[in-house]
Chain A
């Protein structure tokens, strides 16, 4: 299971990359894509939408199940990755390259509830 050390994580298997401009890029982890299997549909939020931390704001669907994606922080959607809508299987191929959406946080440095890589790995191991 890949868990890049420079990213942050949530218990609901999203990853977060803090960009130099203060925005947060969000995707799902390798563990999540592996659990879901072949992905076939991705529903992304509208650009401009305001989301609260923990709010379901996207849906991904695999052959065997559908899953909600939760906003890891509160903020506004400033970009979405249209490429994954056309090729959901790119998420299976590389979950950390296939980002889903980007958020501008409501408050700068609002990452108090995100996990670091080792915390996430432990969290996955405990719940397996």
Chain B
């Protein structure tokens, strides 16, 4: 039996094509994922991402715990700032990527959002880590909360019309900052590369919030568009671009690792050994100039050895296929390499692992 969010009925009523995603019955699209993608780049779209898991992290040692758990250092984030980070195992392999939200200047309370497919495993890991090191902290999952993501250049305008009180708290937020209440929060974060807000509310409030945003001009958007948007924005997807078999250093996520002081976080020693060893693989972008679609797991042949596509799709904004690929160290931006497509080998251009900014293609 698949799990359903508080917005399941809304999705079905809107004609969504529902699919199994990590054990949840979620909307893939409401007619055309390409149209939904364009709606986000040009206006505003709303996503139900309630399959993801909010977690409250509370206790005297909350800060110390987070400094040990995450590759990014919570101490170096200001009040109400959000922190995108990896969580590693002892070998430096990525257990998950997550966003941790500081709650004002508090050091005893924080929140995190975990990926749907890994939420149970992550929680187990966090709780085991907390008790094994005697951190006085509790990690409490919040399955009573719904999560909606309103994204696009018109997101702020739509929110102002739909929810004036919420907008009063949300619009002044700088990018990657949040405003918390006891029942939820709103953050200026997202997974699309556009301006937008991620809104966490109790389930009972979700349907009315969803409806009000649609009435104010946002398009309902599903997981299909979510994937093409995040890939255009160069954002990693756990389970494809990152997993336990790779470290952040070979996944374009070295920037999430704060090594400035001698903070002991899980996996640090392994990362330092890997860095000292040199010749790291790298996550780069690929652009297919001809027809066809690059897809995950396809091989990439380069003069410096084999690479592999981790995520591939058709880019509605660029109108060609794009991909992220794990490549040998010596490969450079602007190199032309060969991807092994379904129909045979095809030349692809190596580009930066980000394809769109502010709704426009990057060179």
How far apart sit A43 and B292, CA to CA, in the bound complex (Å)? 9
1/0 contact string of A38-49 vs chain B (CB within 8 Å): 101101000000
- Which A73-127 residues have C-beta < 8 A from chain B? 89, 92
Residues of B within 8 A of A4 (CB): none
**Smallest Cβ-Cβ distance to A40: which chain B residue:** B314
The smallest C-beta distance from B103 to any residue of chain A, in angstroms, reads: 39
> CB distance A92 to B32 under 8 Å?
yes
CB distance from A65 to the nearest CB of B (A): 9
B34 touching A59 by the CB < 8 A rule?
no
A63 close to B33 (CB less than 8 A): yes
A63 close to B291 (CB less than 8 A): no
Partner of B291, one of A34, A41, A64: A41
With both beta carbons as reference points, the residue of chain B lying nearest to A34 in the complex is identified as B17
A54 at the interface (CB under 8 A from B): no
Which residues B22-39 have CB closer than 8 A to chain A?
28-29, 32-34
Binary A-proximity of B329-363 (CB < 8 A = 1, otherwise 0): 00000000000001100000000000000000000
Output the nearest chain A residue to B293 by Cβ-Cβ distance.
Answer: A61
Is A66 in contact with chain B by the CB < 8 A criterion?
yes
Q: Which residues of A contact B224 (CB under 8 A)?
A: 37-38, 63-64
A89 to B28 CA separation, bound complex (whole angstroms) = 18
Q: Which of B150-170 contact A (CB under 8 A)?
A: none
The answer to whether B292 and A37 touch across the interface, beta carbons within 8 angstroms, is: no
Q: Are B343 and A40 in contact (CB under 8 A)?
A: no
Distance (Å) between the CB of A57 and the closest chain B CB?
Answer: 13
Residues of A within 8 A of B342 (CB): 59, 66
**Docked CA distance A49–B313 (Å):** 31
Query: B34 contacts which of A38, A43, A61, A66 (Cβ < 8 Å)?
Result: A38
Considering only residues 214-229 of chain B, those with a C-beta below 8 Å from chain A are 224, 228
A41–B313 CA distance with the chains assembled, in angstroms: 12
Evaluate contact between A40 and B293: CB separation under 8 angstroms. Answer: yes
Nearest Cβ distance between residue A97 and chain B, in whole angstroms? Answer: 17
Minimum CB–CB distance from A21 to chain B (whole Å) comes to: 32
What is the number of residues of chain A that contact chain B, defined by CB distance less than 8 Å? 13
A36–chain B nearest beta-carbon distance, Å: 11
Given known A-B contacts A63-B313, A64-B224, A37 and B291 have beta carbons under 8 A apart: no
Neighbouring A residues of B33 by C-beta, 8 Å: 37-38, 63
Q: Which of B32, B291, B292, B343 contacts A38 (CB 8 A)?
A: B32
Chain A residues closer than 8 Å to B314, beta-carbon distance: 40-41, 61, 63
A64–B28 Cα distance when bound, in Å, is 11
Return chain B residues, CB-CB under 8 Å to A66. 293, 342
Bound form: Cα–Cα A41–B28 in Å: 20
Whether the pair A59, B343 counts as a contact (CB closer than 8 A) is yes
Determine whether the beta carbon of B292 is less than 8 Å from that of A63. no
Closest to B341 in A: A66
- Are A89 and B291 within 8 A (Cβ)? no
Q: Select from chain A the residue with minimum beta-carbon distance to B320.
A: A40
User: Separation in Å of the A128 CB from the closest CB of chain B?
Assistant: 14
A117 CB, min distance to chain B CBs, angstroms: 24
Known A37-B29, A37-B224, A41-B291: A63·B34 in contact at CB below 8 Å: yes
Q: Which of B17, B228, B343 contacts A63 (CB 8 A)?
A: B228
Could you tell me the distance between the alpha carbons of A59 and B224 in the complex, rounded to whole angstroms?
Answer: 21
A-contact 0/1 string along B304-323, CB 8 Å cutoff: 00000000011000000000
Please give the distance in Å from A98's CB to the nearest CB on chain B: 15
In Å, the complex CA distance between A76 and B110 comes to 68
**Chain B contacts of A61 at CB under 8 A?**
292-293, 314
A-B contact pairs, 24 of them (CB 8 A): A37-B28, A37-B29, A37-B33, A37-B224, A38-B33, A38-B34, A40-B314, A41-B291, A41-B292, A41-B293, A41-B314, A59-B342, A61-B292, A61-B314, A63-B33, A63-B224, A63-B228, A63-B293, A63-B313, A63-B314, A64-B224, A89-B32, A89-B34, A92-B32
Q: Which 8 A-B pairs have the closest CB atoms?
A: A38-B34, A40-B314, A63-B314, A41-B291, A66-B342, A61-B293, A38-B33, A38-B32
Known: A38-B33, A41-B293, A92-B32. 11 other contacts (CB 8 A): A37-B29, A37-B224, A38-B224, A41-B291, A41-B292, A59-B342, A61-B292, A63-B33, A63-B224, A63-B293, A89-B32
Q: Which residues of chain A have a CB within 8 Å of any CB of chain B?
A: 34, 37-38, 40-41, 43, 59, 61, 63-64, 66, 89, 92
